[in-house]
Copies of this chain bind each other. A is one copy, B any other.
Amino acid sequence: MLIRKGLSEMKRVTMADVAEKANVSKSTVSQYLNNRFDYMSKQTRDRIKIAIEELGYQPNFVARSLKQKSTSTIGVIVANILHTFSTQVLRAIEDYFNEHGFHAIVCNSYNDPVKELRYLEMLRAKQVDGLIVVPTGGNLDVYQRMIDEQFPLVFMDRIVEELRVDSILLDNEAASFIAVQHLKEKGYYRLGILTSSLKGNITPRIERVKSFRKALQMFNLPIYEDFIQGYEQNEYQFRLKELLSLPQPPEALLAGNDFSLMEILQFVKDHRIVIPEQLAVISVDEVSFADIYSPGLTTINQPTFEMGTQAAEMLWKKIKKEHNQSTNIIHRFKPELVVRDSC
């Protein structure tokens, strides 16, 4: 892999070195490396093989990328890799692209459009072949330019109304409907949904809240606006206290995401509330401990792997030009109800 020169001078082995050693030209070596054996004599092939092994030659993909205008690398920008949703989706994307010899550069925007912009620019400068992103909602102009250029792009989890981009989302309406239907069947009457901050227009939160209301109507249940809330991180505990101290508190709560579920469970524990007798609980997003918690937690699961795989496949087709770039299909995935004992 390295050629020793003089005492300690090192130099990377290049294709030229291989060519020289094998007594052929660079282009022949290039042919060899790209498996174009069609017109190559067994002899030269062997000579090249030996030369490569003896020198420990390893191709320089960067040079190849420059020439071919393709890096076999994609970029993925998620909000925060610490969220289960992100990791599972990432795993699926990873697995898919690795099958095709591609790699992924992973970035966290932390929901900050400024960070997002920096990543977008660097990733494009690094010539990634495509991008899968959970968009913050900012940087419309940058995305629009990408769309105009037909740059392969797929959004996940969120919709940006102004942009025509194919997007992968949960069918959030179905999630809310399933929850309400299940709760009604179980005999609960005063239902609520609690999720993270509604500021910032995060699609899944907005959609779940909105369609929760719609579902209540549809199932002829009363709508208590107090029970339909997006809380800031630090207000959950005292707001829950208020909520459950009401003369007519909610009988059942839908946690709009795993974070909200944790907060609810924290409150339940601190106040020795019995689930489901005193408060029924159901949540969107599976959590690792749904099974082992007592009582088992009824959850509405997102098919995260399928969603990640689908995003990857769509991007792949765009990269390979097998797919029209400028569609904006919203792919909705059905959530799945897993009934346990919390409602």
Q: Is the CB of B145 within 8 A of A105?
A: no
Q: How far is the CB of A15 from chain B (nearest CB, A)?
A: 13
Per-residue CB proximity of A134-147 to B under 8 Å, as 1/0?
00000000000100
Q: Is the CB of A262 within 8 A of B103?
A: no
Assembled-state Cα–Cα distance A60/B127 (Å): 7
Residues in B neighbouring A265, C-beta threshold 8 A: 289, 292
Q: Is the CB of A145 within 8 A of B108?
A: no
In the complex, A246 has a CB within 8 A of chain B = no
Closest residue on chain B to residue A56 by CB atoms: B145
Assembled-state Cα–Cα distance A105/B269 (Å): 41
Residues in B neighbouring A2, C-beta threshold 8 A: 148-149
Residues in B neighbouring A65, C-beta threshold 8 A: 62
Closest residue on chain B to residue A105 by CB atoms: B103
Q: Is the CB of A61 within 8 A of B269?
A: no
Closest residue on chain B to residue A59 by CB atoms: B125
Residue A104 contacts which of B101, B106, B145 (CB distance < 8 angstroms)? B106
Q: How far is the CB of A232 from chain B (nearest CB, A)?
A: 20
In the complex, A229 has a CB within 8 A of chain B = no
Q: Is the CB of A81 within 8 A of B73?
A: no
In the complex, A66 has a CB within 8 A of chain B = yes
Stoichiometry, as copies per complex, reads 2
Q: Is the CB of B61 within 8 A of A127?
A: yes
In the complex, A31 has a CB within 8 A of chain B = no
Q: How far is the CB of A34 from chain B (nearest CB, A)?
A: 13
Residue A266 contacts which of B121, B125, B291 (CB distance < 8 angstroms)? B291
Q: Is the CB of A73 within 8 A of B126?
A: yes
In the complex, A7 has a CB within 8 A of chain B = no
In the complex, A10 has a CB within 8 A of chain B = yes
| Stretch among A44-52, A83-91, A164-172 lining the B interface | A83-91
Per-residue CB proximity of A51-94 to B under 8 Å, as 1/0?
00000101111110110000101000000111000011011001
Q: How far is the CB of A132 from chain B (nearest CB, A)?
A: 14
In the complex, A122 has a CB within 8 A of chain B = yes
Q: How far is the CB of A119 from chain B (nearest CB, A)?
A: 8
* Most chain B C-beta atoms within 10 Å of own C-beta, residue among A2, A65, A148: A65
In the complex, A248 has a CB within 8 A of chain B = no
In the complex, A163 has a CB within 8 A of chain B = no
Q: Is the CB of A58 within 8 A of B124?
A: yes
Q: Is the CB of A127 within 8 A of B88?
A: no
Q: How far is the CB of A136 from chain B (nearest CB, A)?
A: 16
Assembled-state Cα–Cα distance A59/B121 (Å): 10
Per-residue CB proximity of A94-108 to B under 8 Å, as 1/0?
110010010111111
Residue A107 contacts which of B88, B103, B288 (CB distance < 8 angstroms)? B103
Q: A1-B145, A59-B125, A87-B87 are in contact. List 19 more A-B contacts (CB 8 A).
A: A2-B148, A10-B149, A56-B145, A58-B125, A61-B126, A62-B71, A62-B126, A66-B66, A73-B126, A81-B91, A95-B108, A98-B107, A101-B122, A103-B105, A103-B123, A106-B106, A262-B292, A269-B294, A293-B293
Cβ contacts A to B, 12 pairs, < 8 Å: A1-B145, A56-B145, A60-B66, A61-B125, A62-B62, A62-B126, A63-B66, A81-B90, A82-B88, A262-B289, A262-B292, A269-B291
